[in-house]
Amino acid sequence: MGGAVSAGEDNDDLIDNLKEAYYIRTDLVERAFRAIDRADYYLDEYRDNAYKDLAWRHGNIHLSAPCIYSEVMEALELHPGLSFLNLGSGTGYLSTMVGLILGPFGVNHGIELHADVIEYAYQKLDSFIKTSDSFDKFEFCEPSFVVGNCLEIPPESRHYDRVYCGAGVQKEHEEYMKNLLKVGGILVMPLEEKLTKIIRTGPSSWETKKIISVSFAPLVLPKHSPKSKPKTAPLRKSHFRFAEIVLLFVNVPRIITHTKTTQHLRLIKSSHIKLGIILEEEEEEEKETGELLRPQPAVNVLRERILGLPLPEPLKMYLLYYREK
């Protein structure tokens, strides 16, 4: 699927072509596309094809055509602070672009069927965070990916403001997908060979709009033996609290972690001498049975982590005071 616009010489040239063909229509979406070089999500030997308006697949790794991602990003009507779920998150290219718009108060989850693709996605995410000049220009909502089948999300999981499915949805699963949304939320998915936008207007009401004709591989159905208990996809229940302090003449290195502890602090330094502290409640660990293990709440974890930061004592006390307020 693709071929709607001319190939570009580089990422910016490709974006120019998508704008000219009216696939990219808003400044917010344009900024996200320009910030992330599509070629960075290709294997090195295939980078020459990155700026063509074509889908790409190698083994389990897959990228949709740029014109498709453009339509998806525009249809989602993203803005800061939303919660987003990417079903079939793949390389993480789309989730990373979405994270540039959601900002530090957003939620950015992805579920992917293949463990090797999750590993690939985290490699690309690490590379973007550590090496991209664009990273410091945005308040980023870092995506989190889990392995699982998107048709096995437990019914008690959270609902989302925005949901995208990157595989063809069979008609019998339409209601399942729609019920992942909050009221007022937007779902974009391939349905009956049409990229479809669905808005949840009430507890039991939706508005549907067909966007463009598409051809996607169908959703992979869960595989259960007659006697086995179905596993559930372990989407985490995240909550983000963000405190931002502008500091003069402070040089704090960026520390990036992907630990699986219940809670951790990440210290983020931007080029604007801005120090932010994010408390993130990590995903509930999955038992071998596929059931979710609820961790015991830690006592004063944030306080202890703040006290352990390499910061002046008055600043630590200010952070603790800010948190208590």
pLDDT score recorded for residue 224? 66
16/8 Cα distance (integer angstroms): 8
106/14 Cα distance (integer angstroms): 28
Q: How does pLDDT run across 41-54, given as a tens digit for each residue?
A: 999 999 999 999 99
Of residues 6 and 248, more confidence is placed in 6
Catalytic center residues = 64
Name the average pLDDT for the chain.
80
% of the chain surpassing 70 pLDDT: 71
Indicate whether 176 pLDDT > 90: yes
Indicate whether 186 pLDDT > 90: yes
pLDDT score recorded for residue 325? 46
Q: How does pLDDT run across 267-299, given as a tens digit for each residue?
A: 433 333 333 433 344 444 443 444 433 334 444
Indicate whether 230 pLDDT > 60: no
Domain ranges of the chain: 67-213, 240-324
Which CATH number is associated with domain 67-213?
3.40.50.150
Please give the full DSSP string across 164-216, using - where no structure is assigned.
EE-SBBPGGGHHHHHTTEEEEEEEEEEETTEEEEEEEEETTEEEEEEEEE---
Indicate whether 225 pLDDT > 80: no
pLDDT score recorded for residue 236? 55
Of residues 114 and 287, more confidence is placed in 114
Question: What tokens does 5 get?
Answer: 């616009």
Q: How does pLDDT run across 87-101, given as a tens digit for each residue?
A: 999 999 999 999 999
Which range among 3-12, 227-236, 286-295 shows the weakest confidence by mean pLDDT? 286-295
Asked if 39 contacts 106 with a C-beta cutoff of 8 angstroms, the reply is: no
pLDDT bin (cut points 50, 70, 90) of residue 309 is confident
Question: What tokens does 167 get?
Answer: 């595989």
